[in-house]
Amino acid sequence: MITLFHSPRSRSSRIIWLLEELAAPYEIKQVNIRRGDGSGALDTADPHPHGKVPAIIHDGALIFESAAIAAYLTDAFPKNGIGPIVGDKTRGPYLTWLAYYAGVMEPAFMSKFMKLDPPRGSAGWVVMEEAMAYVAATLEAGPYLLGEKFSAADVLFGSTFALFLGQPFLPKTPVLEAYVKRCVERPAYIRATAKDS
């Protein structure tokens, strides 16, 4: 049994989606978090070292960071085939997309949002426009990040785009709109949304 430490409508919502895709046995422990608008509070019931979500506990081990959780869970529950296993030729690209999400996409998003300009050559990520051009070109060839096959990398990117598409920093394009539609129409996404309270 996996325990997911979750706060409604946050980055842990996508882990409910992932767990539903995997048909993994899980329980949700709802915890409080400090929100960007100043609401919420640190919750001692949350085992995350920084009081964040998502975090999971499985077989006594604490796992946090969305990309690590995605890699861990798709390895632990390979049956539904949404995380290429070692030996699969898409394993390398899969891990690349997970790391790219955490190391490039999120910092690019946040620096755009905070109106920061990452210095070329020394920041570990690129500006949002450059990252999005790459993602969009991949999805255009797609329909998913790994090509024909949906993966947990799409859970990370798809959930983020579903939330922010149409905001000034993430303009709608036919490619992104179609991708988000493919993601949010998935039965596992719909089940997860119903549980996200």
Ligand X SMILES: N[C@@H](CCC(=O)N[C@@H](CS)C(=O)NCC(=O)O)C(=O)O
Length reported for the chain:
197
List residues near ligand X by CB under 6 A.
10-11, 33-34, 51-54, 65-66
Q: Given the complex with ligand X, which of 65 and 88 has the nearer CB atom? A: 65
Q: Given the complex with ligand X, which of 121 and 124 has the nearer CB atom? A: 124
Cis before 54 (ω within 30): yes
**Minimum separation from the CB atom of position 81 to ligand X (A):** 23
State how far the Cα of 119 lies from the Cα of 98, in Å rounded to an integer: 23
**Minimum separation from the CB atom of position 54 to ligand X (A):** 6
**Minimum separation from the CB atom of position 5 to ligand X (A):** 9
Q: Given the complex with ligand X, which of 66 and 151 has the nearer CB atom? A: 66
Please give the residue whose beta carbon sits closest to ligand X in the complex.
Answer: 52
Q: Given the complex with ligand X, which of 11 and 58 has the nearer CB atom? A: 11
Q: Given the complex with ligand X, which of 102 and 175 has the nearer CB atom? A: 102
**Minimum separation from the CB atom of position 183 to ligand X (A):** 17
**Minimum separation from the CB atom of position 105 to ligand X (A):** 10
